[in-house]
A and B are shown apart, each in its own frame.
Chain A
Amino acid sequence: MAKKLTSPVYVVEDNIDTDQIIPAQYLTLVPTIPEEYEKLGSYAMVGLPDDLYPIEFIKKGATKTGYKIIIAGKNFGCGSSREHAPISLGAAGVEAIVAESYARIFFRNSVATGELYPYEARERLIERVKTGDIAIIDFDNDTIEINGQVHQLKPMGDVRPVIEAGGLFNYARQSGMIPGP
Chain B
Amino acid sequence: MTLTEKILAKASGRNRVAAGDNVWVNADILLTHDVCGPGSIGVFKREFGQNAKVWDPMKIVIIPDHYIFTADRLSNRNVDVLREFAKEQGLSYFYDVIDDPEGHWAFNVARGQLRRQHGSRYQGVCHAALPQRGHTRPGEVLFGTDSHTCMAGAFGEFATGIGNTDAGFILGTGKLLIKVPETMRFYLEAELPKGVMAKDVILNVIGDIGFDGATYRAMQWEGPGASALDMDDRMTIANMAIEAGGKNGIFPADKKTFAYVDERTRANGTKSAYEPAELDRDQIFAFDKVYDLSKLEPTVAMHPNPGNRALAKTLEYVRLDRAYIGSCTGGKTSDFVAFAEVVNGKRVQIETYGVPATSEVVSDLKQARLGETSVWDVLIDAGVMMTENASCAACLGGPQDTFGRLNAPLTCISATNRNFPGRMGSKESKVYLASPYTVAASALTGHVTDPREFLS
Contact = CB atoms under 8 A, between A and B. Distances in A.
Do A and B come together as binding partners?
yes
A112 B247 CA distance: 16
Nearest to B304: A15
Interface in B168-205: 169, 172-173, 175, 177, 179
Interface string B200-218: 0000000000011001100
Contact of B147 (A15, A105, A172): A105
Interface stretch (B39-47, B337-345, B448-456): B39-47
Interface string B154-166: 0000000111111
Given A19-B397, A103-B245, A168-B169, A47 B421 contact: yes
Interface stretch (A3-11, A80-88, A148-156): A80-88
B175 A177 contact: yes
A28 B22 contact: no
A167 B146 CA distance: 20
Interface string A31-45: 111000000000000
A20 B421 contact: yes
A33 B39 CA distance: 8
Nearest to A83: B163
B396 interface: yes
Contacts of A31: 39, 42, 164
A87 to B, nearest CB: 8
Interface in A153-181: 158, 162, 167-169, 172, 177-178
B75 A28 contact: yes
Given A27-B35, A79-B420, A83-B164, A32 B43 contact: yes
Interface in B203-255: 211-212, 215-216, 242, 245, 247
Contacts of B420: 15, 17, 19-20, 78-79
Contacts of A162: 177
Given A19-B420, A24-B397, A80-B147, A178 B172 contact: yes
Interface in B418-453: 418, 420-423, 427-428
A28 B67 contact: yes
Interface in B2-45: 22, 24, 35-36, 38-39, 41-43, 45
A32 B247 contact: no
A167 B165 contact: yes
A25 B42 contact: no
Given A28-B75, A75-B245, A158 B179 contact: yes
B332 interface: no
Contact of A101 (B24, B212, B397): B212
Given A31-B42, A104-B245, A168-B165, A80 B396 contact: yes
Interface string B394-429: 001111100000000000000000101111000110
B320 to A, nearest CB: 21
Interface residues of B, number: 55
Contact of A103 (B173, B215, B423): B215
A30 B423 CA distance: 20
B211 A112 contact: no
B352 interface: no
Contacts of B147: 79-81, 105
Contacts of A32: 38-39, 41-43, 45-46, 164
Interface string B49-68: 00000000000000000110
Interface in A67-118: 74-75, 78-84, 86, 101-105, 108-109, 112-113
23 contacts: A20-B422, A20-B427, A24-B423, A27-B35, A28-B399, A32-B38, A32-B39, A32-B42, A47-B421, A49-B421, A75-B211, A75-B212, A79-B147, A81-B162, A83-B164, A103-B245, A105-B161, A108-B163, A109-B166, A113-B163, A172-B177, A177-B24, A177-B175
6 tightest A-B CB contacts, nearest first: A32-B42, A83-B163, A109-B163, A81-B147, A28-B74, A81-B161
Interface of B: 22, 24, 35-36, 38-39, 41-43, 45-47, 66-67, 72, 74-75, 78, 81, 145-147, 149, 161-166, 169, 172-173, 175, 177, 179, 211-212, 215-216, 242, 245, 247, 305, 396-400, 418, 420-423, 427-428
Interface of A: 15, 17, 19-20, 23-25, 27-33, 47, 49, 74-75, 78-84, 86, 101-105, 108-109, 112-113, 158, 162, 167-169, 172, 177-178
